[in-house]
Structure 1
Amino acid sequence: MIKAVLFDLDGTLLDRDESVKKFIDCQYDRLKHFVGHIPRENYSKRFIELDQRGYVWKDKVYQQLIKEFAITGISWEELLQDYMAEFKNHCVPFPNLITTLEKLKSLDIRLGMITNGWGNFQLDNIKALGIEKYFDTILISEWEGLKKPDPEIFRRALKQLNVPAQQTIFIGDHPQNDIKAAQYAGLIAVWKKDPQWNHVEADAILDDLAELPILIENRW
């Protein structure tokens, strides 16, 4: 019987790819005085390439953009601050996010989240999605002092929820940081499909978040 579900954030609950596209398009408009000499599509495309789906921190991204596009009048620190302040206003949830969380809560399942990233930045994004209230615990790597795939961060979440690993599902999109790491920590690992990877060895695979409560009721 499943007692708890732990979620990753980016790529699992938050459609980060779409959120980034919305953000960078609006940043271009906001800061057009400084970046208007760059074609919009070039600025957006290069940001997304350098960002590597969030695995490169934005200080390096903006330093490279300034260098490549000869941006003047604004520093990379100011561009980074704009990112930190404004990204939360462009957060796009995956379909059926709220209804899935509500269904899981109705099944008396405890909910938690483990996400790598900066504390206030990630919490702002969680609040922007309107989902903070559904979670019994939220662990963000900066504040925890460790990050996925370290098994200790999974154990810490289990301790806070007071549930055993074998009765807990972890759902995420990354084959190593989420799926293999969760399995190594003894949890049931469910892969939220991501087009970046063709196949991932997981205990179950989902196309849509709405499939999760059905899976739990029928399988576990």
Structure 2
Amino acid sequence: MRKACIFDLDGTLLDRSGSIPAFLKRQHERFYEHLGHIPFDSYKEQFIHLDQRGYVWKDVVYQQLLEHFQVNDIDAETLLDDYVENFHLDCQAFTGVVDTLQQLRSNGIALGMITNGRTQFQLKNLRAIGIEAYFQTILISEQEGMAKPAKEIFEKALSLLQVKAEEAIYVGDHPVNDVQAARAIGMKGIWKRDEYWPVPAETDGIIDHIPDLLAHFVK
């Protein structure tokens, strides 16, 4: 019997692909004096290209972005600070996330989260989409001093939720860091489909939308 469900955040519960363009639009407007000569679509597309789905930290992204557009009258640190302080204002969850978390909790399923990233940044994003309270444990790589796909961070989440690996499902969008890593320690690994990534070589299920997950908890 499945007793727990542990989630990734970005690309799984948080619609980063929808949130990033909304944030960039407002950033482009806030710094229009320095960025206004760059068409917004070009600014957005170059950021997304350099960002590599969030796997490149933004100090590097903004430095390369300014170099690409040959902008010299604003520095990367200023744009990075704006990202850290304001990204959460444009965060949005995927459709059905809150309802699905509510249903899982009401059915007695323990909920956890493992996400790579900076602690305060990820906490602000969680709170912005209103889902922090649903989780009994939230592990963020910076705070834990370890990151996915290390087995230790998965094992810690299971220990905190007081469940065995075979009693838990892990849901994430990354084929290796999420699905493969979870399955390697005996958890059921569900892939939240993301066309950016290749289909995992092995998976215990594929969902297109978070509410689809509920079918995996039917007895």
Superposed pair shares fold, TM > 0.5: yes
> What is the alpha-carbon distance in structure 1 between the residues aligned to residue 41 and residue 67 of structure 2?
17
Q: How does 1:1-220 map to 2 (within 5 A)?
A: 1-200=1-200, 201-218=202-219
Query: Alignment length, in residue pairs?
Result: 218
Deviations 1:103-145, CA, capped at 9 Å, x for gaps: 0001101000000000000010000010000000000000000
> What is the alpha-carbon distance in structure 1 between the residues aligned to residue 67 and residue 197 of structure 2?
32
Q: RMSD of the TM alignment (CA)?
A: 1.0
Identity of aligned residues (%): 50
Deviations 1:87-117, CA, capped at 9 Å, x for gaps: 0011121110000000000110100000000
> What is the alpha-carbon distance in structure 2 between the residues aligned to residue 122 and residue 205 of structure 1?
25
Q: What is the TM-score of this pair, normalised by structure 1?
A: 0.97
> What is the alpha-carbon distance in structure 2 between the residues aligned to residue 106 and residue 67 of structure 1?
51
Q: What is the TM-score of this pair, normalised by structure 2?
A: 0.97
Deviation at 1:210, TM superposition (A): 0.8
| Unpaired stretches in structure 2, ≥5 consecutive residues | none
Secondary structure, counterpart of 1:46 in structure 2? helix
> What is the alpha-carbon distance in structure 2 between the residues aligned to residue 139 and residue 159 of structure 1?
12
Q: What is the one-letter code of the residue matched to 1:54?
A: G
Q: What is the one-letter code of the residue matched to 2:152?
A: E
Deviation at 1:72, TM superposition (A): 2.9
Secondary structure, counterpart of 2:171 in structure 1? strand
Deviation at 1:198, TM superposition (A): 4.8
Contact persistence 2:9–2:114 (CA under 8 A): yes
> What is the alpha-carbon distance in structure 1 between the residues aligned to residue 47 and residue 115 of structure 2?
22
Contact persistence 2:175–2:198 (CA under 8 A): no
